[in-house]
Amino acid sequence: MRKNFEIPRNHKDIGLRSLAVMFKDEFIPFTGLNLPKVKDVIETNVPIIEVKDRGMDLNFLLEDGTIAHIEFESDTLKENDLTRFAHYDLQLYEQRKQKIRRIIIFSSGVSHTTLKQLDIGSVKQQHDCIFLEHDFNGDETFSKIKGKIIQGQTFTNREKLEILLLPMMKTTQSNSSKRAYELTKTLEKYPQKEIAHYLIGAMVAVNYSQIKEPEKAKILEVLEMAKPFEDLYKKFELKGRQEGKREVALKLLIKGMDKETIAEITGLSEQEINELIPQKKSL
């Protein structure tokens, strides 16, 4: 008897790690906030005794040495949400001693939140809010994605990020669950099947709690016919990390560092570093 395909239990963590690793250069520009560029992705599992079985969604180390702490929310903020975020930030600050910028991204259905800060006297919290309900047009984005597939064009990294967040965006033609299924059926027509299945899996993982039946079961049937999502995730995460190493190595080459030291720092082979030399000369 065939076992039904299931998204791994840590589905949201897998999807968010995918966002962090694969789209670290696109994520902050996507929000529209005027922040420094992302320098690196940092650990989200800070030890918190008071808040069990919860973890921070995304953390990016920015070029100015601050940390962008990203949280995704599907409802308006309550005081216990800000209390939980405060626990996260204080623990992270204790570990790294770096200032933290908090950004909260609200999915469709949330157009505002009245609780924008929490002042308990000794600590005053503040954050930026991004509302996918009115800041991003899901119908236009979906139409653009369909058009690129029809024309046989490849997706940019920005467009791949939009695909993962599309079910959270505002739509007048559908709802989050139906949009996720429509997107799945559309991506099945994408010629690069491995990328298509990876995007479907990551999209479902990020939006798992928002996608309802019967659409969820239909999407999982599609993934059941593909290579298991977690295997695909690992492959693309490895690719993302490798590309990050190459970026670091190229910058060190430009600064004149010798290849042996670069290899020691990045873990790249001498041959891989030699392949970067033509890029150095063209810059």
Q: What is the pLDDT of residue 205?
A: 84
Task: Point out the domain boundary residue: 97, 114, 135.
Answer: 135
Residue 66 lies inside a defined structural domain of this protein: yes
Residue 6: predicted pLDDT: 54
Q: For residue 223, give the nearest of 193, 256, 249, 267 by alpha carbon.
A: 193
Position 76 in a domain: yes
Structural domain total, the chain: 2
CA angle 33, 240, 142 (to 5 degrees): 55
Q: Do 54 and 48 form a contact (C-beta atoms < 8 A)?
A: yes
Residues 180, 203: contact at Cβ < 8 Å? Answer: yes
Average pLDDT over residues 127-155: 93
Domain termination residue (choose one: 135, 156, 190): 135
Q: How far is CA 180 from CA 146, 199, 208, in A?
A: 13, 11, 10
CATH code for the domain in which residue 69 is found: 3.40.1350
Indicate whether 184 belongs to any domain: no
Domain boundary among 135, 151, 175: 135
Report pTM: 0.76
- Collapsing DSSP to helix, strand or coil, 174 comes out as coil
Average pLDDT over residues 41-56: 58
For residue 247, give its domain range: 238-282
Residue 219 lies in a domain: no
Query: With 50 as the cut, is the pLDDT of residue 50 above it?
Result: no
Q: What is the pLDDT of residues 199-224, one digit of tens each?
A: 998 898 889 888 999 999 999 888 87
